[in-house]
C-alpha cells in the first residue's frame, strides 16, 4: 500500500492529572500512519494506553487530560485548535465503536431512533431519509430492517454489538476505531462480528483501528499491528512479519503467553507487572520483565529502529542487528 | 493424565438435571400461562478423578456454570446424582454438606469482586479456617496462611500477607483467591473461568499453578469458554451445548479430531496466532437458542450445518464415534459421529434407555403426520367411552330424576370434558393432574396433536360447569319426571316464589 495515509498520528502524548498533584504519562509519544482500506491492530495489556490513544484521536478525553502531538486527517491537523477542529470530523470522518458499546444503548429509546440521532445532529440526513438510511445500515450489519423500532433489550448481545457498529457507521465515516469490539462476546459471536468488520472495511473502503488485548484476533483480522507497552508503541509492522520475526521481546513473550489451539509449545506467562506511569521511567520500560535484558537496558532508553522496511521496534537488541546489517 | 492405581473417581456426576423456574408474574398466573422452566442442565454425566483436570467448555448459556454450581450443591438439581469421594451428596442437608465443603472448593471468575476489599490478604485466607473451626491457635493459623500463600505462588508470603486487594494486581488477586481455597486442603477444586478476567500475560501463570496442584493429586473441574486454554491445560474436555455434553474425550483428541459438528465449528472459529494460517471459519448463524424452549430432537439441529431430517426427532446420546482414535472419545451426533457399539446403542443412534422407553410406548408413536393424529384420536375415543361409561355408572347412584341413558350420556360428556381439560390443557401442577397429563401426553407423544388447546380447555370447562349445574338442579328439583309438572306447580305456588 503506497497511497498517502488517510490518518497520521505524530508524537502523541497524553497526561492525566492525578489528585496528589502528580501526573500520569499514559501515552508517551505514539506515532503511526493509517492508509485507506487498511486494518491495523493496537495490542497490549490493560493499562498500556491503547484506549487512551484512540480516545485522544477522537478528542474525547476528560478535562483532566492534557494532550500534545498531532493527529492529521488527509494532512490537516485536527488537533490544532482542540475541540473546534476535532468536532467537525468526529463521527463524520472518524467514528468509534466504544468498549462495551453494546451495553450503552439507552434502554427506553428504540435502536432506530438512536442511530438517527447522530445523522440529524451532524446534518448528514434528516427525517424520512435518515430513517431509510437507518434501515439500510441495520441490513448492512446483518440485522433485519424491520427491527428498527425494537428496543435494546429485544436484541441479543451479538445483535446489540452489530447495532453499535451500525451506529458508528451512521455518518459514513472513513475511519473506524473499534475498541475491544468482541471482548464480552462468545467465540462464535466474536467470529461473526470479526467477519462483519472485515467485510465492512473491504466493501466500504473503511480504514480501521482494532484495539484489543487478543493477539490472535489481530492476527486473523488486521494487515498491520502495533504492540503497545507502557504508553508507547514498542513494535509495529506487517502482521506476518511481527508473528514470524518479532523484534521486541515483549511481542515474542506475548505470543508465548497466548495458548494456540493446536500448538504444542508451553504457554509461559510474563513475570512481573507493567511499570507505573506516574513516575519517570529510566531505561527500557520492559527491562524488569524481559528475558533478554542486558547491560544497557536498565539505564539507557532504546531507540526506535526500522529492522526491515515497514517494521520497527524499540529494543537494544536491534542496535547490533542494524549495525551489522545496514539496510 | 490421571495417576496410576486410581482409587476411583473423586466426583461422579450421573444424568444431572438442573432447571430454574421462569417467573410468570401476576398477570401470567391469572391468565394461567404455563409454567416455564429454563432447562439449564439436561442429563449431564461426567467424572473427575484425583490428579485430573476436566474442562467443561461451551458458550455462555450452555449450562457449564449451572453444572458447576449444582455439583457443589449451591443449586438444587431436579434429577440425577452427584457422588463425591464415593458418597452420594445429591440430597444431603446443608449440615451434612458442611464437612464436605472444605474438600470441595470453588474459584470464581472475577478476583476483583470475589475478594472483600476491606479484608487484608491474611483475613481472606484465614476466614475459611475460622468458618470450619480448623487450624488451632492463631500462630498455627498464620503458619497455614503463609503455607497457602507459598503454594499459590505468592512468594515471599510476608510481602503479601498484610496487603489489601487494591494493592495487588489481577493475577495476584486470583492467587489470593486460590490460596484461600488451598488453606483447607481440598480434594476437588471447581474453577469457574479462572483466567478470563486477567491479562493475557498473567493467565498462563495462574493456569500453571492449577496444573501444579493437579500434579499433586487434586481433582480440578475447570469451566471455560476458551478451547485453546482447555486444550493446553486439561486432561479431558467436555463440550457443552444447551445443557448437554455433546462431545467429550481426552483434550488433544477432542481438539485435533473433533467429531460433533458443534465442536468442529467451535474449533474453526478460534483465531489462530499465525496470520498466514488462514482457516475457513465455519460460522454458525444466530446464537444459542433460549434454554426455555429447547428444540426437539437433537438440540443443535436448527443451527447445524449437516443436520438431516432425522435430527429433528432423534435426540442422540453420547457414544463412541467410528472416527475416534481412543475409546474414551464420545460424541452425540447421528450424522458425523455414528457409533458401532451395538451393545449400548440401537441402529438409529439411540441409547438403550431411549429404545427401552420407546418400546414401552405404542408403536404408533413412531408414525408421523395424519397417522399419528388418527392414533391419538382413537386413543381419545376409547378413553372417553370407557371412562364415560364408568362415570355414568357412578352417576346412576346419585339421587335424582334423570333416566339412566341420560345419565350415561352426561357421564361420557363430563368425563370427556375433564379428560380434555387435563390431557390437552396446561401442565397441571397438582400430582393427580400431572400424573394423568403425563400419561396421556406420553401416549400422544410430545409433538402437536392438532387440538387448539386453549379453545378445547375453555369449551371443556364450560361443559363441565353446565353439566354440574344440571345435576345439582336435578338433585334439588327433579326434571323430566312424571311428577315434574306437579312439582313445578307446587314450587311455583310455594311462598318463596310469591314475593
B202 in contact with A, Cβ within 8 Å: yes
Q: How many CB atoms lie within 10 A of CB B467?
A: 17
What's chain B's average pLDDT? 80
| Confidence band of B396 (pLDDT split at 50, 70, 90) | confident
Look at residues B335, B354, B336 and name the one whose alpha carbon lies nearest to residue B344. B354
In angstroms and rounded to an integer, the radius of gyration of the C-alpha atoms of chain B is 31
Q: Determine the average pLDDT of the residues in B109-117.
A: 88
Cell numbers 480516545: residue: A55
| Confidence band of A194 (pLDDT split at 50, 70, 90) | very high
Res. B291: pLDDT tops 70: yes
Q: Rounded to whole angstroms, how far apart are CA atoms A138 and A120?
A: 17
| Confidence band of B248 (pLDDT split at 50, 70, 90) | very high
Q: Which residue has the higher pLDDT, B445 or B294?
A: B294
Res. B453: pLDDT tops 80: no
Of the listed ranges B4-18, B203-217, B342-356, the one predicted with least confidence: B342-356
Residue of B204, B231, B271 to mutate, interface with A, max A Cβ within 10 Å: B271
Residues 56-85 of B with CB under 8 A from A: 59-60
Residue of B60, B160, B175, B201 to mutate, interface with A, max A Cβ within 10 Å: B201
What's chain A's average pLDDT? 91
Cell numbers 387448539: residue: B452
Terminal alpha carbon distance of chain A: 20
For residue A190, the chain B residues in CB contact (below 8 A) are 269
Look at residues B179, B172, B221, B154 and name the one whose alpha carbon lies nearest to residue B11. B221
pTM of the model: 0.75
Contact A215 B200 (CB under 8 A): yes
Per residue in A254-302, pLDDT (tens digit) is 999 998 888 888 889 898 888 989 888 999 999 999 999 998 999 999 9
Contact B256 A262 (CB under 8 A): yes
Q: Rounded to whole angstroms, how far apart are CA atoms B364 and B379?
A: 11
Residues 226-255 of B with CB under 8 A from A: 226-229, 231-232, 255
Contact B200 A191 (CB under 8 A): no
Q: Taking CA atoms, what residue in A is nearest to B206?
A: A269
HSE-up of residue A85 (Cα within 13 Å, Cβ side):
12
B163 in contact with A, Cβ within 8 Å: no
Specify the 3-state DSSP secondary structure of A83. Answer: helix
Shortest Cα–Cα distance, A214 to chain B (Å):
8
Q: Give the rounded percent of residues in chain A with a pLDDT score beyond 90.
A: 73
Q: Rounded to whole angstroms, how far apart are CA atoms B216 and B196?
A: 24
Nearest 5 degrees, angle CA B220-CA B223-CA B227?
A: 110
Cell numbers 396421556: residue: B440
Per residue in B27-81, pLDDT (tens digit) is 777 777 778 889 999 999 999 999 999 999 998 889 999 999 999 998 889 989 9
Query: Is the C-alpha dihedral spanning A295, A299, A303, A304 positive or negative?
Result: positive
Q: Which residue has the higher pLDDT, B22 or A151?
A: A151
The C-alpha cell of B349 is what? 443412534
Res. B477: pLDDT tops 90: no
Q: ipTM of this model?
A: 0.86
Q: What pLDDT is stored for residue A208 in this prediction? A: 96
Determine contact, residues B70/B82, Cβ cutoff 8 Å. yes
Q: Rounded to whole angstroms, how far apart are CA atoms B296 and B315?
A: 8
Q: Taking CA atoms, what residue in A is nearest to B168?
A: A273
Reduced 3-state DSSP string for chain B: CCCCCCCCCCEEEEEEEEEEECCCHHHHHHCCCCCCEEEEEEEEEEEECCCCEEEEECCCCCCHHHHHHHHCCCCCCCEEEEEECCEECCCCCHHHHHHHHCCEEEECCCHHHHCCCCCCHHHHHHHHHHHCCCCCCHHHHHHHHHHHHHHCCCCCHHHCCCCCHHHCCHHHHHHHHHHHHHCCCCCEEEEECCCCCCCHHHHHHHHHHHHHHHHCCCEEEEEECCHHHHHHHCCEEEEEECCEEEEEEEHHHHHHCCCCHHHHHHHHHCCCCCCCCCCCCCCCCCCCCCCCCCCCCCCCHHHCCCCCHHHHCCCCCCECCCCCCCCCCEECCCCCCCCCCCCCECCCCCEHHHHHHHHHCCHHHHCCHHHHHHHHHHHHHHHHHHHHHHHHHHHCCCCCCCCHHHHHHHHHHHHHHHHHHHHHCCCCCCHHHHHHHHHHHHHHCCCCCCCCHHHHHHHHHHHHHHHHHHHHHHHHCCCCCCCHHHHHHHHHHCHHHHC
Shortest Cα–Cα distance, A176 to chain B (Å):
22
Q: Determine the average pLDDT of the residues in A229-246.
A: 95
Q: Taking CA atoms, what residue in B is nearest to A258?
A: B200
Q: What pLDDT is stored for residue B484 in this prediction? A: 57
Query: For residue A85, what is the enclosing H or E element?
Result: helix A83-86
Q: What pLDDT is stored for residue B346 in this prediction? A: 42
Of the listed ranges B133-142, B348-357, B426-435, the one predicted with least confidence: B426-435
| Confidence band of A2 (pLDDT split at 50, 70, 90) | low
Shortest Cα–Cα distance, B112 to chain A (Å):
14
Shortest Cα–Cα distance, A158 to chain B (Å):
8
Q: Rounded to whole angstroms, how far apart are CA atoms B101 and B190?
A: 12
Q: Which residue has the higher pLDDT, A55 or B488?
A: A55
Query: Is the C-alpha dihedral spanning A195, A199, A202, A207 positive or negative?
Result: negative
Residue of B201, B272, B285 with shortest CB distance to A45: B201
According to DSSP, the residues that pair with B367 across neighbouring strands are none
Residue of B205, B208, B276 with shortest CB distance to A240: B276
Residues 326-365 of B with CB under 8 A from A: none
Look at residues A124, A138, A206, A197 and name the one whose alpha carbon lies nearest to residue A166. A138
A119 in contact with B, Cβ within 8 Å: no
CA distances from B344 to A252, B317, B351, B352 (A): 49, 10, 6, 6
Q: Determine the average pLDDT of the residues in B210-230.
A: 94
Q: What pLDDT is stored for residue B353 in this prediction? A: 46
Which residues, other chains included, contact B364 with Cβ-Cβ below 8 Å and sequence gap of 6+? B371, B372, B375
Q: What pLDDT is stored for residue A83 in this prediction? A: 87
Across the A:B interface, residue pairs with CB atoms under 8 Å apart total: 117
Nearest 5 degrees, angle CA B182-CA B188-CA B190?
A: 90
Of the listed ranges A252-256, B18-22, B468-472, the one predicted with least confidence: B468-472
Residue of B202, B225, B275 with shortest CB distance to A240: B275
For residue B202, the chain A residues in CB contact (below 8 A) are 269-270
Residue of A157, A191, A270 with shortest CB distance to B283: A191
Q: What pLDDT is stored for residue B170 in this prediction? A: 87
Shortest Cα–Cα distance, B56 to chain A (Å):
15
Q: Rounded to whole angstroms, how far apart are CA atoms B179 and B127?
A: 11
Contact A220 B278 (CB under 8 A): yes
For residue B288, the chain A residues in CB contact (below 8 A) are 186
Nearest 5 degrees, angle CA B307-CA B45-CA B208?
A: 100
A187 in contact with B, Cβ within 8 Å: yes
Look at residues B338, B272, B346, B75 and name the one whose alpha carbon lies nearest to residue B190. B75
A270 in contact with B, Cβ within 8 Å: yes
Q: Rounded to whole angstroms, how far apart are CA atoms A301 and A297?
A: 7
B425 — alpha (psi -120 to 50), left (phi > 0) or beta? beta
CA distances from B275 to A205, A241, B179, B392 (A): 21, 9, 38, 79
Buried-state track A292-320, b at ≥16 Cβ within 10 A, e below 16: ebeeebeeeebebbebeeebbbbbbbbee
Q: Rounded to whole angstroms, how far apart are CA atoms A251 and A268?
A: 13
Of the listed ranges B15-29, B33-47, B294-308, B465-479, the one predicted with least confidence: B465-479
A267 in contact with B, Cβ within 8 Å: yes
Q: Rounded to whole angstroms, how far apart are CA atoms A148 and A114?
A: 10
Helix axes A127-140, A111-122, angle to 10 degrees: 120
| Confidence band of B283 (pLDDT split at 50, 70, 90) | confident
Of the listed ranges B202-211, B303-312, B471-480, the one predicted with least confidence: B471-480
Q: What pLDDT is stored for residue B433 in this prediction? A: 40
Query: Is the C-alpha dihedral spanning B424, B430, B432, B434 positive or negative?
Result: positive
Shortest Cα–Cα distance, B244 to chain A (Å):
18
Residue of B60, B200, B278 with shortest CB distance to A254: B200
Terminal alpha carbon distance of chain B: 94
Q: Taking CA atoms, what residue in B is nearest to A241?
A: B275
Q: Rounded to whole angstroms, how far apart are CA atoms B32 and B12?
A: 39
| Confidence band of B373 (pLDDT split at 50, 70, 90) | low
Res. B216: pLDDT tops 90: yes
Per residue in B178-205, pLDDT (tens digit) is 999 999 999 999 999 999 888 888 899 9
Amino acid at each position: 500500500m503506497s497511497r498517502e495515509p488517510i490518518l497520521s498520528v505524530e508524537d502523541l502524548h497524553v497526561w492525566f492529572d492525578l489528585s496528589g498533584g502528580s501526573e500520569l504519562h499514559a501515552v508517551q509519544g505514539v506515532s503511526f500512519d493509517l492508509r485507506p482500506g487498511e486494518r491495523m491492530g493496537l495490542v497490549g495489556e490493560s493499562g498500556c494506553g491503547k484506549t487512551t490513544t484512540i480516545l485522544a484521536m477522537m478528542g474525547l478525553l476528560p478535562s483532566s487530560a492534557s494532550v500534545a502531538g498531532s493527529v492529521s486527517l488527509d494532512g490537516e491537523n485536527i488537533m490544532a485548535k482542540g475541540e473546534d477542529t476535532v468536532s467537525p470530523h468526529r463521527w463524520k470522518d472518524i467514528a468509534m465503536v466504544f468498549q462495551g458499546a453494546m451495553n450503552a444503548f439507552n434502554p427506553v429509546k428504540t435502536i432506530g431512533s438512536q442511530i438517527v440521532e447522530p445523522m440529524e445532529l451532524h446534518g448528514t440526513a434528516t427525517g424520512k431519509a435518515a430513517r431509510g438510511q437507518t434501515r439500510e445500515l441495520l441490513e448492512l450489519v446483518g440485522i433485519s430492517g424491520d427491527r428498527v423500532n425494537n428496543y435494546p433489550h429485544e436484541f441479543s448481545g451479538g445483535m446489540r454489538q452489530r447495532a453499535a457498529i451500525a451506529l458508528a457507521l451512521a455518518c459514513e465515516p472513513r475511519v473506524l476505531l473499534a475498541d475491544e469490539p468482541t471482548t464480552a462476546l462468545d467465540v462464535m459471536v466474536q467470529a461473526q462480528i470479526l467477519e462483519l468488520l472485515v467485510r465492512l472495511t473491504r466493501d466500504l473502503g473503511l480504514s480501521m483501528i482494532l484495539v484489543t488485548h487478543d493477539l490472535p484476533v489481530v492476527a486473523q483480522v488486521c494487515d498491520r499491528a502495533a504492540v503497545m507497552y507502557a504508553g508507547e508503541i514498542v513494535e509495529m509492522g506487517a502482521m506476518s512479519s511481527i508473528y514470524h520475526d518479532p523484534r521486541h521481546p515483549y511481542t515474542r513473550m506475548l505470543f508465548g503467553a497466548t495458548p494456540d489451539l493446536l500448538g504444542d509449545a508451553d504457554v509461559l506467562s510474563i513475570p512481573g507487572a507493567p511499570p507505573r506511569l506516574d513516575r519517570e521511567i529510566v531505561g527500557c520500560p520492559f527491562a524488569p520483565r524481559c528475558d533478554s535484558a542486558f547491560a544497557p537496558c536498565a539505564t539507557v532508553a532504546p531507540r526506535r529502529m526500522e529492522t526491515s522496511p515497514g517494521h520497527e521496534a524499540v529494543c537494544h537488541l536491534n542496535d547490533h542487528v542494524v549495525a551489522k546489517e545496514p539496510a | 493424565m490421571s495417576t496410576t492405581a486410581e482409587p476411583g473417581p473423586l466426583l461422579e456426576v450421573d444424568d444431572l438435571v438442573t432447571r430454574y423456574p421462569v417467573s410468570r408474574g401476576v398477570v401470567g398466573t391469572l391468565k394461567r400461562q404455563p409454567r416455564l422452566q429454563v432447562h439449564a442442565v439436561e442429563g449431564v454425566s461426567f467424572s473427575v478423578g484425583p490428579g485430573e483436570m476436566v474442562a467443561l467448555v461451551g458458550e455462555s448459556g450452555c449450562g457449564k456454570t449451572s453444572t458447576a454450581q449444582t455439583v457443589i450443591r449451591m443449586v438444587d438439581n431436579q434429577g440425577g446424582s452427584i457422588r463425591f469421594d464415593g458418597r452420594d451428596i445429591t440430597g444431603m442437608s446443608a449440615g451434612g454438606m458442611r464437612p464436605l465443603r472444605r474438600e470441595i472448593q470453588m474459584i470464581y471468575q472475577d478476583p476483583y469482586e470475589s475478594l472483600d476489599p476491606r479484608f487484608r490478604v491474611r483475613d481472606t485466607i484465614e476466614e475459611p479456617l475460622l468458618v470450619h473451626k480448623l487450624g488451632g491457635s492463631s500462630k498455627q493459623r498464620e503458619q497455614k496462611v503463609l503455607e497457602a500463600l507459598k503454594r499459590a505462588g505468592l512468594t515471599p508470603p510476608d510481602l503479601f500477607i498484610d496487603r489489601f486487594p487494591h494493592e495487588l494486581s489481577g493475577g495476584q488477586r486470583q492467587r489470593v483467591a486460590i490460596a484461600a481455597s488451598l488453606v483447607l486442603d481440598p480434594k476437588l477444586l471447581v474453577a469457574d473461568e479462572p483466567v478470563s478476567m486477567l491479562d493475557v500475560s498473567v493467565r498462563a501463570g495462574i493456569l500453571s499453578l492449577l496444573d501444579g496442584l493437579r500434579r499433586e493429586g487434586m481433582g480440578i473441574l475447570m469451566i471455560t469458554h476458551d478451547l485453546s486454554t482447555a486444550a493446553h491445560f486439561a486432561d479431558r474436555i467436555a463440550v457443552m451445548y444447551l445443557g448437554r455434553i455433546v462431545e467429550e474425550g481426552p483434550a488433544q483428541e477432542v481438539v485435533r479430531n473433533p467429531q460433533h459438528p458443534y465442536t468442529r465449528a467451535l474449533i474453526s472459529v478460534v483465531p489462530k496466532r499465525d496470520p498466514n494460517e488462514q482457516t475457513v471459519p465455519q460460522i454458525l448463524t444466530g446464537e444459542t437458542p433460549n434454554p426455555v424452549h429447547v428444540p426437539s430432537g437433537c438440540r443443535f439441529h436448527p443451527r447445524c450445518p449437516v443436520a438431516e431430517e432425522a435430527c429433528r426427532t432423534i435426540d442422540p446420546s453420547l457414544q463412541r464415534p467410528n472416527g475416534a482414535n481412543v475409546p474414551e472419545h464420545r460424541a452425540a451426533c447421528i450424522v458425523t459421529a455414528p457409533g458401532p457399539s451395538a451393545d449400548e446403542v440401537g441402529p438409529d443412534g439411540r441409547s438403550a434407555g431411549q429404545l427401552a422407553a420407546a418400546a414401552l410406548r405404542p408403536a404408533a408413536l413412531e408414525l408421523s403426520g395424519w397417522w399419528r393424529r388418527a392414533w391419538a384420536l382413537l386413543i381419545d375415543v376409547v378413553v372417553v367411552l370407557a371412562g364415560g361409561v364408568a362415570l355414568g355408572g357412578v352417576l346412576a347412584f346419585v339421587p335424582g330424576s334423570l333416566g339412566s341413558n341420560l345419565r350415561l350420556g352426561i357421564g361420557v360428556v363430563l368425563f370427556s370434558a375433564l379428560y380434555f381439560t387435563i390431557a390437552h390443557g396446561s401442565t397441571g401442577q397438582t400430582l393427580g393432574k400431572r400424573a394423568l397429563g403425563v400419561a396421556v401426553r406420553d401416549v400422544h407423544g410430545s409433538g402437536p396433536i392438532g387440538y387448539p388447546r386453549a379453545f378445547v380447555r375453555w369449551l371443556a370447562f364450560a361443559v363441565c360447569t353446565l353439566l354440574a349445574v344440571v345435576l345439582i338442579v336435578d338433585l334439588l328439583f327433579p326434571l323430566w319426571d312424571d311428577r315434574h309438572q306437579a312439582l313445578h306447580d307446587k314450587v311455583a305456588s310455594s311462598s318463596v316464589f310469591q314475593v
